Amino acid sequence: MKTIKFILICAAPVAGFFLSLINGSVEISSAQIFFGVEDETKRQILENIRLPRTIVAVLVGVNLSLSGAILQAVMKNPLADPHIIGISSGAGLFGIAVMMIAGDAGALVTPAAFIGAMLAAALIYLLAWKDGIRPIRVILAGVAVSAFLGAGISALLIFYSDKVHGALLWMVGGLSARSWQHVEILLPYSIAGTLATFLAARHLNVLQLGDEVATGLGLRVNLVRTVLTAIAALLAASAVCVVGLLGFVGLIVPHTTRLILGSDYRLLLPGAALLGAAVVTISDTFARTIFAPTELPVGILMAMLGAPFFLYLLRREL
Amino acid sequence: MNLLAENISVTIGDKEILRDVSYNFPSGKRTAIIGPNGAGKSTLLKALCLLNEKFSGVVKLDGKDIRTLGRKNLARVMAILPQERDAPQDTTVKQLVSFGRFPHRKFFGGTTVEDDAAIANALELTKLTDFANRQVVSLSGGERQRAWLAMTLAQRPKILLLDEPTTYLDIAHQLEVMDIIADVNRRFATTIIMVLHDINHARLYSDDVLIIKDKKIYAAGDPIKILTAQTLGEVFNVTADTFTNAAGNEIIFPIRRETGGL
């Protein structure tokens, strides 16, 4: 049973990756992917459109899933997701502000978004902290922070609509026209964030036992919580900079992984990373082909799947 | 190891909880902390293991201020079983117990032979060896309490702090937990410091008692000598009768609240 689960979780992102490469307005067969495409246009489409877009989908899936998995342990909240609690909005607000000032200056946008995400996280803690963290307060504080920062984003987008391309697409989160440039922006953060997260698996496990037990076991709870929140913020911020406010990935994926593999973070984290890559690649393929030639932003599909999932968790966990 | 509290004072907000408490906890013995609700028992326990850092005064472990030891080093010699705790639904007894090895692990290290031995030993001491693969949530209250106790035992502590270890347990499970604690103390000379509510548990299961009342130490020493019907009257405002049971132990039984006073 365990082997089957393991194989399925490993196979899912591979399947998603190839589905994403094969499907689209131009048919490319799987044989062509392995043995090369002779047609020049098709080759261009594969190499410069579908491949980078698929890689961005993989990285975004990994980042958002890990970010959600961390936040759920750190905030002791099954409903924590970078989008729902406003961390993505914080990243978005600062990221867009820098884009306005400095133009599409790639290198500066992500660090700015990271600062925004950290400030949003700090604000949530500040609002939710009262003799420790209570799950329900985190969600309510998160909703408020999200609404507040979201209003800021909307205002910026309205005032400077000429400067931001595809503002609407950005608000729902989508992968259209993501290119190698975006892969380059995302990749270093994904690698660093993933490694850091995997190293913290045992700390996350201990944190799940409650603050007092964790402290008794020698964990410096506040330090660990701060560092892990920073990692989660960095993962979410880098994703937001590339695909906009894509929600619910960080909610759906960690919970599904938990159902399949259990709550031991040493298994849960790699599982969530793999499943996250699968979910975003498959969802994006589906979203852009279902109403062809109209391309649906993947964020819409994720919200349609995610909102009922959120309600299901709300009924079950809180 | 010797644990010494010097001039511990705790104020939370503008409410004073403990004032200038000093006590030398006898090494290798079982000390019970007794007192009315809100007297500051748990607060004292939390200061002793730095679960609460906001106190004035010093706690010394073999003469060294525990604040200077570092959390991990402290957790290698001192374990605490707090009341507030949580575990994911699918956690097995063995997984829970193995968390007790956390302070002994290196950042990049796997499990050692010593870890396995400590976990097996902790399961055996708490009679949970046959339950190792059961989920903690599926256990009865008494078994669950033993599982958490086993986690602290896997830490192989020299000093074990317990915050009301028998709360919510039925009588048989209360005695079972107290017996395990006594057993650990005898076998490994582990210093036990426990907050208790039951006067007779304190009398039967501890070598030393510390009574906290009104933020201060009211009395301390031999439980049989100190925990009398008269003390109960003074500390808890209750009238108590004293019986002698078949084994020759004195049992104190609270009869009613004293009226007239506060």
Other Cβ atoms closer than 10 A to A215 = 25
CA neighbor of A121 nearest in space, from A54, A57, A74, A66: A74
- The answer to whether A302 and A60 are in contact (CB under 8 A) is no
Cβ-based contacts of B86 with chain A (< 8 Å): 76, 208-210, 213
In which residue are the tokens 């949580």 written? B86
Task: Look up residue B52 and give its amino acid.
Answer: N
**pLDDT, mean of residues A126-130:** 83
DSSP string, A249-287: HHHHHHHHHHHHH-S-HHHHHHHHHHHHHHHHHHHHHHH
Question: Which of A199, A202, A215 is facing B51, going by the closest CB pair?
Answer: A215
Backbone φ and ψ for B78, nearest 5 degrees, come out as: -130, 130
B32 & B152 share domain: yes
B149 & B242 share domain: no
CATH, residue B144 = 3.40.50.300
Task: Look up residue B198 and give its amino acid.
Answer: D
B121 & B7 share domain: yes
Predicted TM-score (pTM) of this structure: 0.91
B132 & B155 share domain: yes
B130 & B74 share domain: yes
B50 & B171 share domain: yes
Helix (H, G, I), strand (E, B) or coil at A151: helix
B138 & B250 share domain: no
Asked if the structure places residue B232 within a domain, the reply is no
Other Cβ atoms closer than 10 A to A125 = 17
B95 & B159 share domain: yes
Measured between alpha carbons, how far is B95 from B92 in angstroms, rounded to an integer? Answer: 5
What is chain B's percent helix, strand, coil content, to nearest 5?
40, 30, 30
Tally of domains within chain B: 2
B172 & B243 share domain: no
**Residue B17 domain boundaries:** 3-227
Asked if the structure places residue B163 within a domain, the reply is yes
Cβ-based contacts of B66 with chain A (< 8 Å): none
B179 & B241 share domain: no
Q: What is the fold, at CATH topology level, of the domain defined by A2-46+58-317?
A: ABC transporter involved in vitamin B12 uptake, BtuC (1.10.3470)
Measured between alpha carbons, how far is A8 from A197 in angstroms, rounded to an integer? Answer: 23
B159 & B187 share domain: yes
Measure in Å the smallest separation between the Cα of A104 and chain B Cα atoms: 40
Cβ-based contacts of B89 with chain A (< 8 Å): 263
262 residues of chain B, pLDDT tens digit each? 889 999 999 998 889 999 999 999 999 999 999 999 888 999 999 999 999 989 999 999 999 999 999 999 999 999 999 998 989 989 999 999 999 999 998 877 778 899 999 999 999 999 999 999 999 999 999 999 999 999 999 999 999 999 999 988 999 999 999 999 999 999 999 999 999 998 889 999 999 999 999 899 999 999 989 998 888 888 988 888 888 888 888 888 888 887 755 4
Whether A217 sits inside 8 A of B82 (CB atoms) is: no
